[in-house]
């Protein structure tokens, strides 16, 4: 799989790659979700090359496949988790470490970035003392009672304009309340180690980051002036865009802007964390499905395939994204509809696929489908999620 490195270059599978995934689908059956681990490694290295001073915390929610987590762990990646099941997926990679080393690794490599945590989760986390986020006084009270040994990171609310999925309506303290919250935590005997923000998933408006960095700098400076204590961790969240469309600017443009602003606004000893999820896995995964039905409705061909929006194409609902349905077959094309296999008319993948004439049993595929897709698959109507196959492990 090729990864575009300049604006206007959307990553596509080349002919050799198409032949390989077709052969895999014929051998393994469909639907099949193919994960290319070498592509994940390449994405990780490219991110590090553009932002060498940033510690990468993979956002496990993007795709929690254990083999993906293991590949990133072997590269030295850290992890952003938002639930205890996600924590346990990461934990499996370190379970055989000596207890002391394991606790040190968790403290230095995991951030529990869900600002709202059940009490039983806080109790379970306290023994490991990871970084945990908060954004309101009630959460502080819970943390004080049930996880007083955790390192705290205050998440602030920042602009999400131009992001595919906004998050600030649900998470983040108002910047005007931030110093008061931090001071309250210190008064309660808790350790606030950092600030965090998230500009929204698939952020194409890079000014969101600039504004968020300025807000963070102001809060850190005011906190030190008021409390005498320094905050030396800044988590710049996720949102790093993938070139789903030609107009998406490449991440190196964002990296140049971030590196410049971080150098301008923060002291040299600041520790910068980032939580890329989509960026690391989106273009590393491909879905192959089979045509299981064919009809002609509303003046166009209609194809029914054995995967849909209740399964791998769920990202079209929850991630507000689209994944073009492509054919291996050649020939004249026409606008066609593609539906999933369930009995619900909501299970409509697209009404405007540009496809050649297909027959029952033909294969279709969608690329760049690795993030927020199979992670949301259900068993609706009893149809199971796609089979997962790994390559280049």
Task: Determine which helix (DSSP H) or strand (DSSP E) holds 206, and give its type and residue range.
Answer: none
Q: Are 271 and 54 in contact (CB under 8 A)?
A: no
Kindly report whether the peptide bond that precedes residue 305 is cis, defined as omega within 30 degrees of 0: no
Distance CA(35)–CA(144), nearest Å, equals: 41
Provide the sign of the torsion angle of the four alpha carbons 162, 316, 290, 31, taken in this order.
Answer: positive
Residues 6+ apart with CB under 8 A from 301: 294, 295, 334, 336, 337, 355, 357, 358
What DSSP string describes 326-375? EESS-S-EEEEEEE-SSS-TT-EEEEEEEEE---TT-EEEE-S--SSSGG
Q: Are 341 and 312 in contact (CB under 8 A)?
A: no
Task: Determine which helix (DSSP H) or strand (DSSP E) holds 89, and give its type and residue range.
Answer: helix 84-91
Examine the residue annotation and report whether 343 is marked as an active-site residue of this protein: yes
Longest dimension (CA), the chain: 71
Which is catalytic among the residues 77, 203, 285, 343? Answer: 343
Active centre residues (catalytic): 343
């Amino acid at each position: 799989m090729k990864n575009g490195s300049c604006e206007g270059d959307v990553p596509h599978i080349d002919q050799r790659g198409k032949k390989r995934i077709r052969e895999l689908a014929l051998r393994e059956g469909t639907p099949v979700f193919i994960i290319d681990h070498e592509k994940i490694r390449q994405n990780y290295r490219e991110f590090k090359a553009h932002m060498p001073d940033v510690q990468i915390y993979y956002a496990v929610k993007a795709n929690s496949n254990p083999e993906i987590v293991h590949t990133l762990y072997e590269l030295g990646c850290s992890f952003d988790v938002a639930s205890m099941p996600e924590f346990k997926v990461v934990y499996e990679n370190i379970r055989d470490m000596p207890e002391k080393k394991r606790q040190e690794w968790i403290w230095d490599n995991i951030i529990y970035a869900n600002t709202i945590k059940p009490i039983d989760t806080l109790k379970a986390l306290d023994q490991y003392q990871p970084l945990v986020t908060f954004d309101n006084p009630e959460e502080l009270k819970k943390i004080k009672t049930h996880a007083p040994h955790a390192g705290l990171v205050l998440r602030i609310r920042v602009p999400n304009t131009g992001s595919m999925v906004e998050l600030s309506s649900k998470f983040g303290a108002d910047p005007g309340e931030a110093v008061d919250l931090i001071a309250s935590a210190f008064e309660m005997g808790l350790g606030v180690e950092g600030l965090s923000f998230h500009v929204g998933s698939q952020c194409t408006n890079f000014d969101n980051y600039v504004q968020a960095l300025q807000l963070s700098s102001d809060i850190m400076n005011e906190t030190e002036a008021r409390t005498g204590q320094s905050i030396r961790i800044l988590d710049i969240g996720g949102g790093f865009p993938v070139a789903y469309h030609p107009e998406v600017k490449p991440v190196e443009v964002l990296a140049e802007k971030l590196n410049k602003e971080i150098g301008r606004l923060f002291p040299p000893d600041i520790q910068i964390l980032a939580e890329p999820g989509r960026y690391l896995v989106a273009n590393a995964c491909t879905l192959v499905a089979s045509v299981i039905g064919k009809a002609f409705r509303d003046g166009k061909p209609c194809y029914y395939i054995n995967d849909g929006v209740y399964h791998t194409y769920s990202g079209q609902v929850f991630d507000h994204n689209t994944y073009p349905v492509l054919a291996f077959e050649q020939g004249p094309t026409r606008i066609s509809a593609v539906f999933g296999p369930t009995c619900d008319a909501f299970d409509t993948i697209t009404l405007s696929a540009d496809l050649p004439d297909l027959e029952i049993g033909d294969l279709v595929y969608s690329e760049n489908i690795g993030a927020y897709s199979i992670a949301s698959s259900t068993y609706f109507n009893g149809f199971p999620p796609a089979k997962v196959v790994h390559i280049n492990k």
